Structure 1
Amino acid sequence: MLTKLLKNLLLLSVAIGGSTVYAADLLVKVLSHKGTPLTDMVVYALPLEGQRLPQSTEKLVIAQANKTFAPYISVAQRGNSILFSNKDDITHHIYSVLGENKFDFVIRAGKQVRQKIVPSAEEILMGCNIHDWMSGYFLAVDTPLFTKTDSAGIAILKVNQPGKYSLVIWHPQMQEQTDKISREITVTGANSSHNIQLNNVMAEIPDQKNSDGFDYLSTY
């Protein structure tokens, strides 16, 4: 099925002003140490030869829903902003205290807060000062080429500039030498596929539930 999909992905080559613009699909399948597909793994490609890539226009929204961060893992390009949206009927106090992307704000029920532009590429852990079981991550990357794997463990990046890239797989629960795996690849303008399998079992995602049974008042 994977081979058939790749055959159906056509290479586009369009002449514009004497130059050629490539559009190639980079298909990545991420597998566990046992060979099963992994969902919600962040996949991104960093240019290694000075390829000039446009800034991503993708809008990142992180909701607070049922006293959890939704989604648990998000990804955005450095330089973009984040919209936090409280879907709960109670107040949250969202914070991140590590690295360059520190923030700390109260968001009332049904309200939204747009966080300032992400200044640096790094992994950001988020929490809530009111509901201490809430945790979530977002990854700020130095490239517009990013996505997450689907339920089949597949991610597709559309690459418009040929050359060498560092293909990176990231998840906060990965237990490799670091929480990411990288591989140098060369994009020629033709569609290509890469299978990446983890070496070790992943850690469990923390349970996003209140363990003490106390419900918090919206008047916080």
Structure 2
Amino acid sequence: MLERASQLIAKCRFLLVLGALFSVSAFGNSINLVIKDQHGQVLPNAVVEIKHLPSSKVQSNLPTAVMDQVDKQFSPQLLIVRQGQYVNFPNSDNIRHHVYSFSKAKPFQLKLYSGQPEEPIKFDEQGVVVLGCNIHDSMVGYIYVANSNHVYTSNEQGQIELQVDSFPVQASIWHSLQTAPLDNKKMFDIESTNSLSITINTSTPAPRNTFGSQFREGNGQ
């Protein structure tokens, strides 16, 4: 119980630091963005990243993020980190997991373990990292490694309030259910303070018991 409480406290501290890390309060213009699928349904958990020139520099002394494993699920299912940030993978279940990814941005394996792994993993390339468990094939998680510190996630109503300092601004959008390859991001331009609606074509994956081939790209299998 004490170990679990310590992990929860660590998560809360990380979220507070993360909020400061991705702070955009210095920007002057507020823009309302709504993300929907091709059927007009709103999309929670879409990730929008604002691009700036020159690109944001890789920061040092970033806090260690946490991707936990609870009730045979990754927690959170979607984790956003900065390029160069470390991620810890505690296993809070009373069974062992074998975490791995074949994603181009970060292929790695944490072989069968319980509790706390030996050390966190550094995510030094931007992109999307899809996580699986070699023991429990229905477990899927995502780590979005951002190059910019201006990153947003849509709420349950598919809404994001963007903050930008000047126009035009280029941005990208990504969602775990998109029909495009998972390492692709849809680009769009922000040219004024007018509200924007962005559509992402999505598909609903069928229930499965295997970690499908779309997540194994580049692994040679």
Bigger Rg, structure 1 or 2: 1
Residue identity opposite 1:173 in structure 2: L
Matched, 1:172 2:176: yes
Q: Give the number of aligned pairs.
A: 184
Which residue, out of 125, 128, 134, partners 1:123?
128
Q: Residue 184 of structure 1 aligns to a residue in which SS?
A: strand
Matched, 1:88 2:93: yes
Matched, 1:204 2:199: no
After TM superposition, the structure 1 = structure 2 runs for residues 22-33 of structure 1, keeping only pairs within 5 Å, are: 22-33=27-38
Post-superposition Cα deviations, 1:53-93, rounded to whole Å, max 9, x if no partner, equal: 78495763212111111222222221111122322111111
Matched, 1:193 2:217: no
> What root-mean-square deviation, in Å, do the aligned CA atoms of Structure 1 and Structure 2 show?
3.1
Give the TM-score normalised by the residue count of structure 2.
Answer: 0.69
Q: Residue 195 of structure 2 aligns to a residue in which SS?
A: strand
Which residue, out of 65, 71, 91, partners 1:60?
65
Post-superposition Cα deviations, 1:141-193, rounded to whole Å, max 9, x if no partner, equal: 2101112111111123444x435432211013212587532112247xxx653
Gapped regions of structure 1 (runs ≥ 5): 1-11, 13-20, 211-220
CA distance, structure 2, for counterparts of residue 79 and residue 156 of structure 1: 26
Structure 1 consecutive aligned stretches of length 4 or more whose deviation exceeds 6 Å = none
User: Which structure carries more helix by proportion?
Assistant: 2
Which residue, out of 136, 139, 151, partners 2:141?
136
CA distance, structure 2, for counterparts of residue 59 and residue 206 of structure 1: 34
CA contact (8 A) 1:62 1:69 kept: yes
Q: % of aligned pairs identical? A: 23
CA distance, structure 2, for counterparts of residue 132 and residue 148 of structure 1: 26
CA distance, structure 2, for counterparts of residue 72 and residue 102 of structure 1: 18
CA contact (8 A) 2:56 2:149 kept: no
